[in-house]
Amino acid sequence: MDPKGKVAIVTGGGSGIGRATACTLSRAGAAVVVADVDEDGGRETVRLIESEGGRAAFVPVDVTRWEDLERMVSFAEETFGGVDILHNNAGVATGRPRFPDAPRERWERTLDIDLWAVIAAIQVVVPAMRRRGGGVIVNTASLAGVMGYQPDPVYCAAKHGVVGLTRALVFLKDEAGIRVNCICPGVVDTPLIYRGIQSLEGQERDYWETYIRNMPKLQPEDVAEAVLTFVRDDSLNGEAMGLLPGSAPRLIPPAIKLERDPSQRL
């Protein structure tokens, strides 16, 4: 899909990867709805886009609230005439202490934002995309969605869920002209990676701060380019794209692919 003249929604568009995607899609010609629970961050992304001559609007959304997701889609239709692209990107890490010591409310929040909301936003946006004759959905998973990520087991579980969901939704292309793919970045230089160590103290905090500062990282713009690739390339459907600093992006095949998958007949 050529994003020029199209309408995109970016959840978590007020910071990091979402902001970079919002700006990249705008430069590629799309009008962008920036959806975020952080009003200041979201409005700043809109300001950045408008300062470059693009079209954008902010809508306050908590992605864990069904009614907010419905309002987000109606807002896009009322403001820009429809929805063609969804970057399902808002996300959080669980933070310390690590599961199973994390209090239940913390890991439930991780699951709500990182998995439930991704599923819910797709259910809410698909009817709007059907009205446009198709669309593109790009979910933000993580490398933690294709490997065992010990620092945050529940985040890891949620991101595996996002990868599985993406691969299982390939039928939407034939059924509704909607392609669903996901990106699986390694460490990206955004506020999220520093938030996890805020609860640490003393030497442990110093150690992790230095470690994170010095490790090779992707930039949010690298991830935004991968999102744009998924939007532009109509052949990509049900794919997970791995991104690591210093390496070319590559598609990650499922660990097992049945030669004759009976579910394809359903």
Ligand X SMILES: NC(=O)c1ccc[n+]([C@@H]2O[C@H](COP(=O)([O-])OP(=O)(O)OC[C@H]3O[C@@H](n4cnc5c(N)ncnc54)[C@H](O)[C@@H]3O)[C@@H](O)[C@H]2O)c1
- Contact footprint for ligand X (CB under 6 A): 11-12, 14-18, 36-38, 41, 61-64, 89-92, 113, 140, 142, 185, 187-188, 190-193
Please, which residue, 1 or 193, has the CB nearer to ligand X? 193
Q: Which residue of this chain has its Cβ atom nearest to ligand X in the complex?
A: 91
Rounded least distance, CB 63 to ligand X, Å: 4
Q: Determine the residue type at 48.
A: L
Burial environment of residue 235 by CB neighbours within 10 A (0 to 12, 13 to 18, 19 or more): exposed
Q: What are the beta bridge partners of residue 59?
A: 35
* Nearest in space to 17 (alpha carbons), one of 230, 226, 247, 265: 226
Give the position of tokens 């864990």. 64
Q: CA-to-CA distance for 156 and 187, rounded, in angstroms?
A: 14
Rounded least distance, CB 133 to ligand X, Å: 28
Write down the catalytic residue from 155, 194, 207, 211.
155
Please, which residue, 140 or 181, has the CB nearer to ligand X? 140
Please, which residue, 59 or 136, has the CB nearer to ligand X? 59
Contact 242, 146 (CB under 8 A): yes
Q: What are the beta bridge partners of residue 240?
A: 182
* Nearest in space to 63 (alpha carbons), one of 12, 14, 108, 125: 12
Rounded least distance, CB 197 to ligand X, Å: 13
The radius of gyration of the chain from alpha carbons, rounded to an integer in Å, stands at 18
Please, which residue, 166 or 190, has the CB nearer to ligand X? 190
Contact 103, 85 (CB under 8 A): no
> Is 155 among the residues known to form the active site?
yes
Rounded least distance, CB 127 to ligand X, Å: 21
Rounded least distance, CB 70 to ligand X, Å: 14
DSSP helix/strand/coil, 169: coil
Contact 228, 170 (CB under 8 A): no
* Nearest in space to 18 (alpha carbons), one of 33, 29, 5: 33
Please, which residue, 58 or 80, has the CB nearer to ligand X? 58
- Residues classed as catalytic: 155
